[in-house]
Structure 1
Amino acid sequence: MTSNFDGLGLNLGNLYRLSDAQSRSISAENPTGEPGKGALATEGLGADAARDLGTGWKVSPAVSIKAGTTFEVADIEGPGSIQQIWMTPAGEVRFLILRIYWDDQEQPSVETPLGDFFASGWGPFAQISSLPVCVNPRNGFNCYWQMPFRRRCRITVENLSEKDSVLFYQVNYQLTQVPADAAYFHAQFRRTNPLPYKQDYTIVDGISGSGHFVGTYVAWGVNNNGWWGEGELKWFIDGEDAPTICGTGTEDYFCGAWAFHVDGNYQTFTTPYAGMPLVVMPDGKDPNAAQSRFSLYRWHITDPIRFRDGLRVTMQALGWRTGTRYLPLQDDIASVAYWYQALPTAAFPELPDRDYLEII
């Protein structure tokens, strides 16, 4: 067998390859991921249901995260790689904050509400069938972003709610060697509500170092009647004043066209690389009504956007006004930017407080 990183990139073309990587898994039934330490719990949220069966019979399938506390999901010594994360919460997904720390950094490299991380920021269930993120009935959140680390991986979930939350989770990973050119996974959440008039929305800024941008999720709440997606997305690479990459419209960037309309109505869709899985209309009928909400994702898996020193990504919010003129919108926009880069991680903007995060 070979002692290499082949296991990280397995696909149908190389699934037969042997590797010295060691498979591990962390859940409430094996919170440390140690070999031979699963299904040994004698107490947990399932203990009463298993009282006639005893140890090994689903005694600890989930954890309760008390209001205002942080639960440590995983603390793993490397080298290794996170291969898959499955979670399903019983609680408000915008108030559960996922953080991931690499190699003993104090600054998290992933900081985002749980629902937004899994492209489900608004809360209601919508199936997603994409390559790195799948959401299955009902709010079974799955992440397949590969996340290599060299020394340590620590994952936490903070409950900002005033109510306790229950979290079911499983983190599947491998202990294996990590090549010198492997970058670290990052994800950053932002929200602006409302967007100031004539101001671009910032998806991410302040990235420092070498890496590549791999995805965007947006939860868009419309505050005006009419179409909202004329705005362009722009990538400012390595300190540029003008962007190298500039799209032609919001629906174009998310791989749709002509306002996502089919027969005058929005058409939801979910594909391996892009989708609009959720549309919520206030009266259920008018596709152009104010207070409509949309979830959109776009993964740059085959077309990552490379940068050497840094990156800034912006998005315009544009509709139409009288006289066939653009209308700069003042909408409720939240987003998650996903990228890989070398450490260290630059400090993120301070996460909004609970009242600003709340979906009303």
Structure 2
Amino acid sequence: MSLLSELTHAKASLSRSISAENPTGEPGGGGRATTGTGAAAARELGVGWKVSPSVELAPHSTTTLADIDGQGAIKHIWMTCFPDHWRSLILEFTWDDAAIPAVRVPYGDFFCNGWNKRCNVNSLPVAVNPAGGMNCYWEMPFLRHATVKIVNLGDAALPLYYQIDYALEAVATPCLYFQAYWHRSHPLAQKAVHPILPQIAGTGHFVGTYLAYQSNSTGWWGEGEMKFYLDADREFPTICGTGTEDYFGGAWNFEQPQGQYGSYSTAFLGLPQVIQPDGLYQSQQRFGLYRWHVLDPIRFTTGLRVTLQSLGWRSGGRYLPQQDDIASTAFFYLDRPDCPDLKPRLDADWLEVN
């Protein structure tokens, strides 16, 4: 908090913001548009009166939302668009002209809304507010250049409202770059484990997990353990959890009151979304869960692998290996601007909520 009152800090950090009203973020560049999605509404008011509040995402296209030269860090992102398309839009963030984006994640999953249905999230790095205002506060540093793009895999043109707040400022070197990786098991193979993060090389720290989890079995579904294989770990992990609900900060099947799931959303962990079967086409239970390692980052020096078991119960007090539909997003920082070890599958059919 002391930084807010230090004038010297203000001199060294230049606040900038990119939106459809100021697409380059340049000083004095906002509100100058003469054409845009709000031009008809502002026809009697003219320039400066919300002429360009959004952009249109053409079908099967990539739109550059931000292209930033210099050294600095993205501090906050706000976006909103229609929920039906949250899985068919892909966010791509690229740092320092790397060969591949560091972030390639479906729009909804990035903001902890993985089922094309709205749910509010009240956490420190991610906040989702009524009715679909997506906010992200992960710090994203870059040394020379940053781009933020969004890919529309769908057949329809969509309006996107957005604002990307950043600072042009000195970044400590060497820096760690923000990364995010999405992976789906649909369904998970018999007696297999879900790879939250496949083996990667490098130094950094793991800072969060989001799960869009569909249970394909009856009964309780969350006995599986989270495992973190640090550095030289191979067969056995250094960090081994005691159950899915435990890792996400809950206990005893999230059952509160008895016979119901107790949803919750806190600064660092939550079960904000519980989607019940409707007795017709929505046949399975679906959940959204997040866990942020902000105060307890999981640090690694040479490599990391993260896995999740899917376990329920069967007769005789035995564990049941399940074949659930699990889509995960891993959030981490790495000592390089991209991660060639990761090759997410992001075609439209595979992303579809079904």
**TMscore range, shorter length:** over 0.9
Aligned equivalents of 2:53, 2:337: Cα separation in 1: 35
Tell me the SS of whatever aligns to 1:15.
helix
Q: Which residue of 2 aligns with 1:148?
A: 141
Match of 1:273 among 258, 268, 274: 268
Q: Which residue of 1 aligns with 2:290?
A: 297
Aligned equivalents of 2:197, 2:52: Cα separation in 1: 38
Could you tell me the TM-score, scaled by structure 2's length?
0.95
How far did residue 345 of structure 1 move?
2.1
Aligned equivalents of 2:346, 2:62: Cα separation in 1: 17
Q: Which residue of 2 aligns with 1:16?
A: 5
Q: Between Structure 1 and Structure 2, how many residues are aligned? A: 345
2:47 aligned partner, one-letter code: T
How far did residue 166 of structure 1 move?
1.1
Aligned equivalents of 2:77, 2:285: Cα separation in 1: 30
2:25 aligned partner, one-letter code: G
- Is the Cα–Cα contact under 8 Å of residues 224 and 290 in structure 1 kept in the other structure? no
Q: Which residue of 2 aligns with 1:351?
A: 345
Match of 1:264 among 259, 263, 267: 259
Aligned equivalents of 1:333, 1:184: Cα separation in 2: 26
Question: Per the alignment, do residues 352 and 51 of structure 1 end up closer, same or farther by CA in structure 2, a change over 3 Å counting?
Answer: same
Runs of 5+ consecutive residues of structure 2 not aligned to the other structure: none
Runs of 5+ consecutive residues of structure 1 not aligned to the other structure: 1-11
Q: 1:220-299 residue pairs with structure 2 within 5 A?
A: 220-241=213-234, 242-262=236-256, 263-283=258-278, 291-299=284-292
Identity of aligned residues (%): 52
Structure 1 stretches of 4+ with a deviation exceeding 2 A read 12-15
How far did residue 51 of structure 1 move?
0.4
Cα displacement string for residues 182-241 of structure 1 (whole angstroms, at most 9, x for unaligned residues):
311001111110000100000001322110000000000111111100000000011411
1:194 aligned partner, one-letter code: P
Aligned equivalents of 1:352, 1:16: Cα separation in 2: 44
Cα displacement string for residues 12-53 of structure 1 (whole angstroms, at most 9, x for unaligned residues):
344222312000000000000000110000001000000000
Match of 1:78 among 62, 70, 73: 70
1:37 aligned partner, one-letter code: G
Match of 1:110 among 103, 115, 139: 103
- Is the Cα–Cα contact under 8 Å of residues 228 and 240 in structure 2 kept in the other structure? yes
2:35 aligned partner, one-letter code: E
Measured on the aligned residues, the alpha-carbon RMSD in Å equals: 1.3
Cα displacement string for residues 109-155 of structure 1 (whole angstroms, at most 9, x for unaligned residues):
00100000001111211111100000000110000001111000011
Q: 1:42-191 residue pairs with structure 2 within 5 A?
A: 42-90=34-82, 92-191=85-184
Aligned equivalents of 2:61, 2:174: Cα separation in 1: 36
Tell me the SS of whatever aligns to 1:120.
coil
Match of 2:327 among 316, 331, 334: 334
- Residues 1:35 and 2:27 are matched in the alignment: yes
